[in-house]
Structure 1
Amino acid sequence: MKLTCLQENLNKGLNIVGKAAAGRTTLPITNNVLISTDDGRLKLAATNLEMAISCWIGAKIEEEGSTTVPAKLLTEFVSSLPNDKIELNLNAKSKALNIKCARFEARITGVDAKDFPPVPKVENGISTKINVEAFRQAVSEVVFASATDESRPVLTGVNAEFEGSTLTLAAADGFRLAVYKLPLLEAVKTATKVIIPARTLGELSRLASMDEEEALMINVDTAKSQILFRLKNIELVSQLVQGNFPQYNQIIPQSFTTKVVVDANQFLMATRTATIFARDGGGIVRLMMNPGGNNTPGKLTISARSEEVGDNTGELDAVVQGEEAKIAFNGKYLLDVLGVLKAQQVSLEVTSPSSPGVIKPVGADNYIHVIMPMFVQW
């Protein structure tokens, strides 16, 4: 293998695939990145056996070939080089990859590419396209609600339902639930439900910001064991989480006794202030809703207190429909959802201090967030 490429392109490609390289592993070659020539371009690939990322960059190919070298070592070296042409030359006998850029040279011992785990082919299942920006927004408003605890594996993923021209993403960790509906650019022929690892979607969102492509291709295999995401120069293949996601529609309240509409940024700021005091008080943030009277506007009062530190109270003008109400939430959960919503106003719907609260963006009907309340002494 002998080729020339730009340092800028190689550095970007290595940063794209590097997140898929395994850290601690019983299979040492998964610490490596695959470097190979492919139809006049340079292909980079890395895998941790659960997720594989491939990337193609422009290069001048003189001799075809392939090898694998330690991903971290190569990435750190290439990132330290000047923005100039890089020459890659593989010594067929020693398996060493020689790298030259300006007045810098290095030799990295490689491992034969035939020992690198093959990237799975995802074929014969459903195929669709989706707008990249819409997908990134959906992921940002859902993925944080997935569980980090491995005791219930299905909750560490995001439930994805492909039906007709709609994709519904849902995540839950037992304390909160986020559901987002968005349109597909191509309708699916068969309704399909899979659970995508939250880490995969987080990584995909990062990659989508690095590849200027409007549409994201999605393929799910017939066995529902693998999913492929394809951008212009990037492919990500991931294993799917096996199991049945909970019937989350059953926990979404269908009615409310009090509804508050409030400025989203003000709600976020007041909650952020309250969590400073809530840190030493079990994370509890208390919300009180008052509809006001004929001459007084409704208000939302946000407070937190700690026996050791002290307390704080913040008041916001709000449109309050229904009766007076109070409820307490984990402040972190409130911050998580308010921090990702793009709407100028949000609504909070409650029934009682012991029933789930529902947060929605005002002006959009494609997102719903349910938070379980905390039981406190008022």
Structure 2
Amino acid sequence: MAKSGPVAVRKPAARSVSLPSTQPSPKRLFHMKFIVSSSALLKQLQSINGVVTNNPVVPILENFLFEIEDGKLTITASDLETSMMTELPVEARESGRIAAPARILLDTLKNLPDQPVTFTLDEETYTIEIASSNGRYKLAGENATDFPRVPVVKGSAPVEIPSTSLARAINKTIFAVSTDELRPAMTGILVQLADNQVTFVATDGHRLLRYRRSDVGAGQTSNIIIPRKAFNLLKGALPSEATTVRMEFNSSNAFFSFNQMRLVCRLIDERYPDYENVIPVSNPNKLIISRQEILNSVKRISIYSNKTTHQVRLRLAGSELTVSAEDLDFSNEANEKLACQYDGEDMEIGFNAKFLQEMLSNIDSEEITLELSTPNRAGLLMPTLADDNESILMLVMPVMLNNYV
């Protein structure tokens, strides 16, 4: 056989092969930083911390929501029924959101001296690191998307009221709000808006407070019931210096805003009792007396009252008022006589000493007027001299006298 010549072997064309890069792929950064004064942040957190409840229905509500945008930190606290928001400027380049644990954050800031602190937030692991001149503190936050959305309130025309007038209205009524959850309408304060006045009403069934201002016009007529907690929070947040509070509401929520603070609360969707029918119209017996004298007397005499009824008796005759109490179970009794101005028939009436003390403590004038009709009908307590722009009426139901003849 003939030998064959050498066979030419064709080499395959070279192909480019992509080998794994030895350089790490760029990783997206989830960190954001901001610098803020520790005392300024603490002040803002404390102003809204009252919203945060222990053992909330949704665990995320144990946190503050931090939102950073355009060099401004907005902080939100919520319990689903009420939400409060405040804001303050910070040094920040990035924007972002995270939920920060309220209790540990507050405790940390309370124990730090006033100084700039740096917050580093990791939106991927929800870790929060605080750096101060004293050291570093690491907290476990939560996903901001789990935090409930605050409702947007749009509906009514805005009502503007001076903060001092609103604070006074709340102070004059809130102590009489009912805590009975079986009567939900009475667990809030009724706000009656009219063209030329605003009225605040609170009652627990034993006493009733009506505070009315004629220097605030709403330009509309409407009745809404604000929950007690919302007004308590508002009262604590209102500044000592005068400012304007803007109020808006719709069928389900009310919105208050002033300075850097905002509050949104769910209205109590119930019918408020027709309180005007409870206020007696004809009260021929009128007592005028020093507020401080009768308050001090009631405080002393109530020590000797029955611990169940807390009853003190007022006996009116001529220009003399006798305040007395007794506790037959322990054979304790006491009485005092006070000078007064009284126009009416001689009579004796009993009241709950605790209610009387609270009402007298919430009147500013030097003298008070007590209007009465009969021992089994409500008495009306009011300042003898009042501001031209305000009207204060306090109604208290009597405690029946066992031995009244």
Q: Same fold (TM over 0.5)?
A: yes
Once residues 253 and 259 of structure 1 are traced to their aligned partners in structure 2, the CA distance between those partners, rounded to angstroms, is 13
Once residues 101 and 165 of structure 1 are traced to their aligned partners in structure 2, the CA distance between those partners, rounded to angstroms, is 53
Q: Deviations over 1:330-376 (max 9, x none)?
A: 11110111111111111101111101111011112601111111111
Instruction: Tell me the secondary structure at the aligned position of residue 63 of structure 1.
Output: coil
Once residues 83 and 283 of structure 1 are traced to their aligned partners in structure 2, the CA distance between those partners, rounded to angstroms, is 49
Once residues 119 and 337 of structure 1 are traced to their aligned partners in structure 2, the CA distance between those partners, rounded to angstroms, is 37
- Alignment match, 1:372: 397
Stretch of structure 1 that moved more, 272-281 or 17-26 = 272-281
- Alignment match, 1:328: 350
- Is the counterpart of residue 277 in structure 1 residue 304 in structure 2? yes
Contact persistence 1:359–1:368 (CA under 8 A)? yes
Q: Deviations over 1:174-194 (max 9, x none)?
A: 111110101455x33331101
- Is the counterpart of residue 240 in structure 1 residue 267 in structure 2? yes
- Alignment match, 2:12: none
Instruction: Tell me the secondary structure at the aligned position of residue 366 of structure 1.
Output: strand
Stretch of structure 1 that moved more, 78-87 or 38-47 = 38-47
Query: Are the structure 2 counterparts of residues 119 and 266 from structure 1 closer, same or farther at C-alpha, using a change threshold of 3 Å?
Result: same
Query: Are the structure 2 counterparts of residues 92 and 174 from structure 1 closer, same or farther at C-alpha, using a change threshold of 3 Å?
Result: closer
- Is the counterpart of residue 355 in structure 1 residue 364 in structure 2? no
Instruction: Tell me the secondary structure at the aligned position of residue 98 of structure 2.
Output: strand
Once residues 309 and 235 of structure 1 are traced to their aligned partners in structure 2, the CA distance between those partners, rounded to angstroms, is 55
Counterpart selection for 1:249 from 276, 295, 298: 276
- Alignment match, 1:69: 100
Report the alpha carbon displacement of residue 167 of structure 1 after superposing the two structures with TM: 0.8
Once residues 82 and 260 of structure 2 are traced to their aligned partners in structure 1, the CA distance between those partners, rounded to angstroms, is 17
Counterpart selection for 1:214 from 220, 243, 248: 243
Report the alpha carbon displacement of residue 40 of structure 1 after superposing the two structures with TM: 2.4
- Alignment match, 1:295: none
- Alignment match, 1:294: none
Contact persistence 1:213–1:231 (CA under 8 A)? no
Q: Partner amino acid for 2:246?
A: M
Report the alpha carbon displacement of residue 315 of structure 1 after superposing the two structures with TM: 2.0
How many residues matched? 368
Contact persistence 1:131–1:184 (CA under 8 A)? no
Once residues 239 and 288 of structure 2 are traced to their aligned partners in structure 1, the CA distance between those partners, rounded to angstroms, is 33
- Is the counterpart of residue 229 in structure 1 residue 259 in structure 2? no
Gaps of 5+ in 2: 1-31
Contact persistence 1:2–1:65 (CA under 8 A)? no
Instruction: Tell me the secondary structure at the aligned position of residue 375 of structure 1.
Output: coil
Q: Partner amino acid for 1:368?
A: L
Contact persistence 2:196–2:219 (CA under 8 A)? no
Once residues 117 and 168 of structure 2 are traced to their aligned partners in structure 1, the CA distance between those partners, rounded to angstroms, is 37
TM-score (norm 2): 0.88
Q: Partner amino acid for 2:226?
A: I
- Alignment match, 2:76: 45
- Alignment match, 1:287: 314
- Alignment match, 1:59: 90
Once residues 109 and 366 of structure 2 are traced to their aligned partners in structure 1, the CA distance between those partners, rounded to angstroms, is 43
Q: Deviations over 1:79-123 (max 9, x none)?
A: 111111111111233210111121121111111111110111111
Instruction: Tell me the secondary structure at the aligned position of residue 158 of structure 2.
Output: strand
Instruction: Tell me the secondary structure at the aligned position of residue 316 of structure 2.
Output: strand
- Alignment match, 2:367: 345
Contact persistence 1:261–1:346 (CA under 8 A)? yes
Report the alpha carbon displacement of residue 147 of structure 1 after superposing the two structures with TM: 0.6
Q: Partner amino acid for 1:242?
A: D
Q: Partner amino acid for 1:328?
A: G
- Is the counterpart of residue 303 in structure 1 residue 330 in structure 2? no
- Alignment match, 1:192: 222
- Is the counterpart of residue 203 in structure 1 residue 233 in structure 2? yes
Contact persistence 1:18–1:72 (CA under 8 A)? no
Contact persistence 1:128–1:184 (CA under 8 A)? no
Query: Are the structure 2 counterparts of residues 64 and 219 from structure 1 closer, same or farther at C-alpha, using a change threshold of 3 Å?
Result: same
Gaps of 5+ in 1: 292-297
Report the alpha carbon displacement of residue 257 of structure 1 after superposing the two structures with TM: 2.5
Q: Percent identity?
A: 25
Query: Are the structure 2 counterparts of residues 215 and 183 from structure 1 closer, same or farther at C-alpha, using a change threshold of 3 Å?
Result: farther
Instruction: Tell me the secondary structure at the aligned position of residue 255 of structure 1.
Output: coil
Q: Deviations over 1:29-57 (max 9, x none)?
A: 01111111144221111000011011112
Report the alpha carbon displacement of residue 61 of structure 1 after superposing the two structures with TM: 1.8
- Please identify which structure carries the higher strand content: 1
- Alignment match, 2:183: 152
Q: Over aligned residues, Cα RMSD in angstroms? A: 1.5
Contact persistence 1:82–1:102 (CA under 8 A)? no
Contact persistence 1:89–1:97 (CA under 8 A)? yes
Report the alpha carbon displacement of residue 281 of structure 1 after superposing the two structures with TM: 5.7
Report the alpha carbon displacement of residue 309 of structure 1 after superposing the two structures with TM: 4.9
Instruction: Tell me the secondary structure at the aligned position of residue 93 of structure 2.
Output: strand
Report the alpha carbon displacement of residue 199 of structure 1 after superposing the two structures with TM: 1.8
Q: Partner amino acid for 1:150?
A: E
Once residues 306 and 229 of structure 2 are traced to their aligned partners in structure 1, the CA distance between those partners, rounded to angstroms, is 27
